[in-house]
Structure 1
Amino acid sequence: MALLTELHRSRLALLLLCCISGALGRDLTIGGRAYIQSTSRWLPLYPVPRLPSVKEPSEPRNIHLSFGDTERDIVVTWSTVSKVSLPLARFRACSAPPHQPWQLATARSTKFVDGGPLKSAQWIHRAKLLNLSSGERYNYSVSSDGSVWYPAMEFRVPNVSQAQRSFAVFGDFGLANAQSLPRLLDDVTRQRMYDAIVHVGDFAYDMPDENGAVGDRFMQMLQPIASRVPYMTCVGNHEEKYNFSHYRNRFSMPGSSENFFYSVNIGPVHLVSISNEFYFFTNYGTAQLGRQYRWLDADLREANLNRTAAPWIVLIGHRPLYCSNNDSRDCDWGARTLRSGFNGHRWGLEPLIHKYGVDLAFWGHEHSYERTWPVHNGSVVGKTSDTKTYTNPRATVHVITGSAGNKEKHAYFVDKAPKFSVFRSTDYGYTRVTFFNASHALLEQVSDDKQGQVIDSFTVVQKRHGPFGWN
């Protein structure tokens, strides 16, 4: 509430200042405070939350949520500069009477040392809140000693009796030029639109920079969003430094693969996250590629046996299998490597996703938005005159959504769109996805350049979930 109060009190003054400056799209420092400018009418200047003072090394920071093994399990992750005596999370249903005791969860703590010259250290704490009540809102807080508690926050557990689930999906989101942040904050805090945020790689630009300080500031910038809604991730190329150590240590995804590959059922959606970076950073070896491929094969096989409970299979990764940007290395050689594998046959992803009927795939890496027809092996499958509704598609639909904003700014397209491409935009923005039920999903691309206008939308109607074929 403290952050929202500050936002509301300062909104008119910030709007006036923004109008006077006439320079949207830049980050500002006013009176020693950092702000992010945007085209959001609700919040034209977003005051970036400050990190705790170095004089308070035990004070919690970088608080964020993720799903555990199920959508009724929430993992609370936070960090402190120093080792603490008793890292705890407490939680209580909002509907509970005030006198009802808090439930406590003891956090597991690990020391993380940045690989830079200063070897900056911090402690990462993870508390699991298990078997939460379906559809319930919870208050929660964290503590370093069990006596002094961080101001209470709130999250909502998805209602398992209702099929609808909504996500915001984006990638390539940085500390500088974080264009989509103010509008996402409005979506999450004021409109309560999402059951999860899905970030498809490339964080902060870059988390290891300045001996890890950029990562600390980025995670603090995300806290007003990620402390309210599970923040689900996959790894990108900008996380590579020190063998992806910041990504492996800062996040808490399901499973036991150090966040690189995992899956979780969220309502009617089987969400599968993989590392496409394994294909390109082979200096760390290729054993992890084989492990991921075998895991993905087994996971998708099992997911197909569970289509009644989770009919939609959604794959997320960082680098796209299809794109039409004017970077031929990514959209030609890189995309072909991911589709077909090394030497055109080893660990290729496209045969698997077609074999097991992956409905939607979300990628980033290209700082733009693009969506495809249902496509397989470079060819459109079942193209019609209707670009707004895909009915019972027999191949995967790919969405590239890497334009949430970072210091590298936009990526541009080749002049002539390939046959597989339906819609392209270089506007800053992000994707909203709503799965209404087992058969209908709506995807919308929000433009920050156009004041939150939905510049592309389409519906997928799939009443024949299952494998697309073996070839």
Structure 2
Amino acid sequence: MAYRMKSFILVILLVSTALSSSAIAEVEDDTPEQVRLSLGTTSTEMVVSWITADHSDGVVEWGFANDNLSFSELGINHTYSADGWDGVIHSAAMNSLLPATEYHYRVGDSIGGWSSISTFSTSPENDTRVRIGIIADMDVTNAAEDVVSSMASHDLDLVLFSGDISYAYDGTRLWDEVNGDEWDEWGRQYEPVSSTVPTMFAVGNHENEEQDGCAGCGFQAYLSRIDMPYEASGSDSEFWYSFNFSMFHIVSISSEHDYSEESSQYQWLENDLVNANQDREAHPWLITMFHRPMYSSTESGHGSEIDFRDAIEPLLVEQNVDIVIAGHDHNYERTFPVDSESAYQTDTNTFLKPEAPIHLLVGTGGRFLYLGASSNPEWSAHFESTTHGYGVLELLDKDSIQFTFYDDDNGDVLDIFTIGRVNVVTPEHTPVPSSDGILLKVAGLVIIASIIGLFIWKRRTKTDDSDSEE
């Protein structure tokens, strides 16, 4: 069984190589690219970052129409040297923004060139509908392109990205020279979403490039490219922070750093959640995200992070966290309300005042899938391992939220549930069976794996023949 599992995983890794997008390309000129929005330190601020090859100057211009970019702010810039990357990272803050307002903006200058004009909307007014995209484990692949394209058409207000972003240092690719330029490919791939919708991140294990063989790299690339407003929430680290958005209080922590009760991360998290509970009238919904899942029933991936769960879960339950978001395992899974593996309200997908958090594992952003089965524990409400996709968490009103998981191919609803504070809330969609097209997908993967296997066998045979001639 162990041998079969290892062989199965090897095949999947090989298939992932074949499904990768076009060859890695470095930043070649000073026209702004990889434009990405993130929330600022206050609700009236939006931060934009972009990348150029060498040009160190740049501004952001914004306004209420394409022909009325009447505000501007000078950007700042920096670079980094990890994983052989070469380029300039710029950022600037658009401030004094009005709520629930559409803005138009561009970045660059007349010397290096301007980006195209994009639009974004600031946070909706309280108690109006909000759509938050949820994703993790993306990579640079054709599947990731499909996910991004589908997300970009979904009228999202915010995206929560729960780690493992670009896989810039990755030993599973067989013929690419994998280096920091992979971050650039990811930035270009994600730009249809990132240039119009702010994205907030949690750090994943693949952001630690040291573990993948890049000596001395650590999290340097991630910290240089991803700038989250941690100080605004009293955090002393870029790896854990919180913010308010609409009627949500959202907390991002790190499963990659010390989370023991004595750690600064744990102490900050406890304090932040206590304060958030005192603010439930203004922000009644409490969301926590990180990378490694506390609950995962896959038989072909990493599974539940028990130590992490033992350390952090009691705090999340005690402080009445509503939704927990993770990735790491490359499949989708939703739990029932669960605490210490004990599940509640296991006969419904319309939850009323649940006694514990519901956990979402959305590691389906584009990286190769873990095509194994679930071990079917009682706490697992829904499991998908044969499709990429993304989640959308919606504020319906102050007292109710809805979560939907969408397939990336057709936009089919594969899973949906609601949580009500006052009344049971009927879901707005009906899930479709997820088996449509699976046989075709599996057949295609088998064919691709066979071709790659033949290619490797031929190269190995050629090498052996050369060695014997010597």
Deviation at 1:141, TM superposition (A): 0.9
SS in structure 1 of the partner of residue 303 of structure 2: helix
Q: Given residue 196 of structure 1, which amino acid in structure 2 is its aligned partner?
A: L
- The residue number in structure 2 matching 1:395 is 356
The reply on whether 1:418 has 2:377 as its aligned counterpart is: yes
- Note the alpha carbon deviations across 1:14-41, whole angstroms, 9 max, x for none: xxxxxxxxx9996588xxxx49xxxxxx
- 1:270 offset after TM fit, Å? 0.6
Q: Which residue in 1 is equivalent to 2:41? A: 69
Corresponding residue for 1:446? 406
Give the structure-2-normalised TM-score. Answer: 0.77
Match of 1:92 in 2: 63
From 104, 108, 111, give the equivalent of 2:76.
108
Structure 1 residue 252 displacement after superposition: 1.9
Q: Distance in 2 between matches of 1:353 and 1:446?
A: 27
8 Å CA contact 2:49–2:90 kept in 1: the answer is: yes
The 3 A distance-change label for structure 1 pair 28 and 77 is closer
Per-residue displacement from partner, 1:113-149 (whole Å, max 9, x unpaired)?
A: 22x3xx4332221101122111111111111567842
1:252 partner letter: D
- Matching residue of 2:335: 372
After alignment, is 220-229 or 136-145 more displaced?
A: 136-145
Question: 1:349 aligns to what SS in structure 2?
Answer: helix
> Per-residue displacement from partner, 1:359-396 (whole Å, max 9, x unpaired)?
0001100111111111112211x32522x111100111
Please name the residue that 1:198 is paired with.
160
CA contact (8 A) 2:147 2:365 kept: no
Relative to its length, the structure with more strand (as a share) is 1
* Contact kept in structure 2, 1:88 and 1:145, CA below 8 Å: no
| Partner Cα separation in structure 1 for residue 41 and residue 183 of structure 2 | 26
Per the alignment, do residues 166 and 289 of structure 1 end up closer, same or farther by CA in structure 2, a change over 3 Å counting? Answer: farther
Determine if the alignment matches structure 1 residue 138 to structure 2 residue 103.
yes
In structure 1, C-alpha distance between the alignment counterparts of 2:330 and 2:346, rounded to whole Å = 28
2:63–2:105 contact (8 Å) kept in structure 1: yes
Query: 1:28 & 1:259 partners in 2: Cα distance?
Result: 30
Determine the structure 2 residue equivalent to 1:82: 54
CA contact (8 A) 2:334 2:382 kept: yes
Q: Which residue of 1 aligns with 2:132?
A: 167
Task: Name 1:15's counterpart in structure 2.
Answer: none
TM alignment of 1:271-290, pairs within 5 A: 271-279=250-258, 290=263
- 1:16 is matched with none
The offset of 1:327, in angstroms, is 5.1
**Alpha-carbon distance in structure 2 between the residues aligned to 1:391 and 1:287:** 32
| 1:435 counterpart (386, 395, 399) | 395
Instruction: Sort the Cα spacing of 1:157 and 1:356 in 2 relative to 1 into closer, same or farther, 3 A.
Output: same
Map 1:273-312 → 2, pairs under 5 A:
273-279=252-258, 290-312=263-285
Letter in 2 for 1:423: H
Shift of 1:258: 5.6
Aligned equivalent of 2:121: 156
Q: 1:264 to 1:448 in 2, by over 3 A?
A: same
Counterpart pick for 1:320 among 288, 293, 299? 293
CA separation in 1, counterparts of 2:73 and 2:272? Answer: 30
Partners of 1:234 and 1:259 within 8 A in 2: no
Kept in 2: contact 1:359–1:396 (CA 8 A):
yes
Cα distance change of structure 1 residues 124 and 324 upon mapping to structure 2, 3 Å threshold: same
| Contact 1:204-1:218 within 8 A present in 2 as well | yes
Asked if 1:128 is matched to 2:93, the reply is: yes
Relative distance call for 1:133 and 1:321 in structure 2 (3 A) is: same
What is the 5 A alignment of 1:121-270? 121-144=86-109, 148-177=113-142, 179-188=143-152, 190-191=153-154, 193-206=155-168, 210-241=178-209, 242-256=217-231, 259-270=238-249
Sort the Cα spacing of 1:289 and 1:424 in 2 relative to 1 into closer, same or farther, 3 A: farther
Q: 1:148 to 1:154 in 2, by over 3 A?
A: same
| Structure 2 unmatched ranges of 5 or more | 1-14, 171-176, 210-216, 424-470
* Secondary structure of 2:41's aligned partner: coil
Q: Percent identity?
A: 26
Question: What secondary structure does 2:179 align onto?
Answer: helix
- The answer to whether the Cα contact below 8 Å between 2:31 and 2:113 also exists between their aligned partners in 1 is no
Q: Which residue of 2 is the match for residue 405 of structure 1?
A: 366
Q: CA deviation at 1:210?
A: 3.0
Q: Cα deviation per residue 1:333-357 (whole Å; 9 max; x = unaligned)?
A: xx210112xxxxxxx1111111111
CA distance in 1, matches of 2:87, 2:163: 23
Per-residue deviation at 1:263?
0.9
- 8 Å contact from structure 1 (residues 278, 288) kept in 2: no
Any idea what the Cα deviations from partners look like across 1:152-190, whole Å, max 9, x if unmatched?
A: 11111122244321111111101024x2533542442x4
* Aligned partner of residue 403 in structure 1, secondary structure: coil
| 1:292/1:298 CA distance change after superposition, 3 Å | same
Quote the Cα distance in structure 2 between the aligned partners of 1:289 and 1:76: 35
Give the whole-Å Cα distance in 2 for the aligned partners of 1:139 and 1:219. 20
Residue 9 of structure 1: aligned partner: none
> Relative to structure 1, is the Cα distance of residues 113 and 147 closer, same or farther in structure 2, using a 3 angstrom cutoff?
closer
Give the counterpart letter for 1:321 in structure 2.
M
2:418 matches 1:459: yes
Considering only aligned residues, what root-mean-square deviation do their CA atoms show, in Å?
Answer: 2.8
Report how many residues are paired. Answer: 391
Distance 1:289 1:215, change over 3 A: farther
Shift of 1:220: 1.2
Output the amino acid matched with 1:64.
R
- Gapped runs of 5+ residues in structure 1? 1-22, 36-47, 280-285, 341-347, 465-471
Q: Distance in 1 between matches of 2:162 and 2:20?
A: 27
Amino acid at match of 2:380: S
